[in-house]
Amino acid sequence: MFRLFRLTFRAIVLAQLLSLAFSAGMGTAYLLQLRRQYRSWGQYLGERERSMRGDDLVAQADLVETRSVDIDAAPDAVWPWLAQLGYGRGGWYSFPVLDRPWAPTGGPVRSSADAILPEFGDLAEGDLVPTQSGAGFEARIVAPAEALVLYLDDGMVREQLSQADDVAFELPENVPPYQVSFAYELEPLPGDRSRLTARLRVHLEASEQQWRMRPFLALALFAFMRGQLLGIRRRVEGREAD
């Protein structure tokens, strides 16, 4: 009986070790695949290094993310979806779980609009592109069918919130100074197609301890931007959600 128990115990331990090794191997493989995808997704050779409109708004960027996607539609057809970006507008077109805090207008908290909203088509330089009620990005460059550049910093957000009547979120006092620019450029491709490139530049005056979270921030921004570009492409091309 004791020998049977010992053999059974060894079998259980061996099974657990094999399971742990398998899980670790699968986890490592997933992380390596995610890392490869994170580094290369949506980028052509040299695309990350080329200059884009609005780069000077955050000249000393600590984090730069550049991603692109090809869309089967001309730039004129893509532009209206960019023009209606924002909370209380068309939304941000990313994955629903990431997009949910920025609901489109006229309904409950949900994913972004699946139709062009004509009331938001006249975006102009200096307009607010909200990330929440009463606060968010300022449109710094608006070139229809060519480029849209958004900008915000902590000072702007604090001033916006101080003037807003309905504030859903207060910026904590301990948030370090920051600057963010979000640029979109449309390039025409043969066959009435477009290349949409998005670039996010971030300058954050964070402590060394806070910067330890940088890999997680970069991964979250990658997930958001990838979801956004795919979400825009799906809507422009009139395809159903995956």
Using one digit for the tens of pLDDT, what is the confidence trace for 161-190?
Answer: 888 776 556 666 677 888 999 999 999 999
Look at residue 81 in the predicted model and tell me its pLDDT.
97
| Predicted pLDDT of residue 175 | 76
pLDDT attached to residue 223: 85
Between 191 and 112, residue with greater pLDDT: 191
CB atoms under 10 Å from CB of 89, counted, come to 22
Does the pTM surpass 0.85? The reply is: no
DSSP state of 10: H
Measured between alpha carbons, how far is 57 from 70 in angstroms, rounded to an integer?
A: 26
CATH architecture of the domain 52-237 equals 2-Layer Sandwich (3.30)
Among 97-111, 166-180, 187-201, top mean pLDDT goes to 187-201
Q: Residue 10: what pLDDT?
A: 44
Residue 156 amino acid letter? M
167 vs 134: CA distance, rounded Å: 7
Encode pLDDT of 22-35 as tens digits: 344 444 444 445 55
* pLDDT tops 80 at residue 199: yes
Q: How far apart are CA 210 and CA 228, in angstroms?
A: 26
pLDDT of residue 122: 93
Structural domain spans, the chain = 1-40, 52-237
Residue 12 has pLDDT above 80, yes or no: no
User: What's the pLDDT at 101?
Assistant: 54
Q: In one letter, which amino acid is 65?
A: E
Report the phi/psi class of residue 163: left, alpha or beta, with left for phi > 0 and alpha for psi in -120 to 50.
alpha
Show Cβ contacts of residue 150 under 8 Å, excluding neighbours closer than 6 positions: 85, 129, 137, 138, 139, 140, 181, 182, 183
Please give the average per-residue pLDDT across 101-123, as a whole number.
73
Share of the chain above pLDDT 70, in %: 66
Q: Does the pLDDT value for residue 105 go beyond 60?
A: no
User: What number is the average pLDDT over the span 51-67?
Assistant: 93
The torsion of the CA quartet 107, 111, 117, 121, rounded to 10 degrees, works out to: 120
Q: If you average pLDDT over every residue of the chain, what do you get?
A: 78
Q: For residue 192, what pLDDT is reported?
A: 95
What is the rounded distance in angstroms from the CA atom of residue 8 to the CA atom of residue 11? 5
Spacing of C-alpha 149 from chain mean position: 14
